[in-house]
Structure 1
């Protein structure tokens, strides 16, 4: 399923989301994440050790609830592919440039300004990966 222009426009300016994964006992679990479109693909960042990563390895189904500061939202249901390995730090650089609207220069990481090399090193040290969402359904007034 392709997101429509209105949904893509919403995602270009709204990066706050709740990511809902499915626990082993079938109970949905939600966590706050950041999301952004990178080259037309919907991405979020995580680490290899995160509980949600383990859940997605077992069951790739996921729901995103992307929201603004008022009452507009976009819900996206789909599956997740984990993008990891040698390219993951560079993919995270692209993702965070999109989320922070900084096509060049330093990036903010937990209140610290990091130049590109330091950012890439931090992503590798943290074993960061990318969650790539393949939407199967999307709805909301966005």
Structure 2
């Protein structure tokens, strides 16, 4: 994991919800809630080819993630996003969802239901799912419990 401290990496191992900020053509910041996970030391998130944020990232790959745990701990990550959308994308989504859910095997929770691996991969193909991979340029925040 480039440009992240061991404490930031540990924080990301336990926090899978983030706000993803992209920039529209007029330069206005746009925010979406996303799930994130560390896969092979890289920050990944799932999206689809049709999403507005995917179009924005194809035009301008810069993005910021804001990750927080509901207490005082938070991390901001400025990054460049690479879109992984080849034939390996369904399997990459499986790896990401297994990481986020802490399930090395068995069914995957997906939008309120449980899918076996075959059904999950078929759904990823049907939804034209892809992976956003974040290359960290800068990070800052408070990832350890503050002492008051």
Would you call these one fold, judging by a TM-score over 0.5? yes
Match status 1:51 vs 2:52: yes
In the TM superposition, 1:49-128 aligns within 5 A as: 49-128=50-129
In the TM superposition, 1:26-41 aligns within 5 A as: 26-41=27-42
* Whole-angstrom distance in 2 between the partners of 1:39 and 1:73: 22
Contact 2:72/2:142 (CA < 8 Å) preserved in 1? no
DSSP-derived class of the 2:103 partner: coil
Tell me the CA shift for residue 115 of structure 1.
0.3
User: Which blocks of at least 5 consecutive residues in structure 1 are unaligned?
Assistant: none
* Whole-angstrom distance in 2 between the partners of 1:94 and 1:126: 17
TM-score normalized by structure 1?
0.98
* Whole-angstrom distance in 1 between the partners of 2:122 and 2:72: 38
Tell me the CA shift for residue 4 of structure 1.
1.3
Q: How many residues align?
A: 142
Tell me the CA shift for residue 126 of structure 1.
0.2
Tell me the CA shift for residue 69 of structure 1.
2.0
User: Which blocks of at least 5 consecutive residues in structure 2 are unaligned?
Assistant: 144-148
Match status 1:129 vs 2:124: no
Tell me the CA shift for residue 71 of structure 1.
2.4
Map of 1:6 onto structure 2: 7
Tell me the CA shift for residue 2 of structure 1.
2.3
TM-score normalized by structure 2?
0.94
Misfit runs of 4+, over 2 Å: none
Contact 2:61/2:81 (CA < 8 Å) preserved in 1? yes
Tell me the CA shift for residue 72 of structure 1.
1.0
**Any idea what the Cα deviations from partners look like across 1:39-95, whole Å, max 9, x if unmatched?**
101000000000000000000000000111222111000100000120000000000
* Whole-angstrom distance in 1 between the partners of 2:48 and 2:22: 15
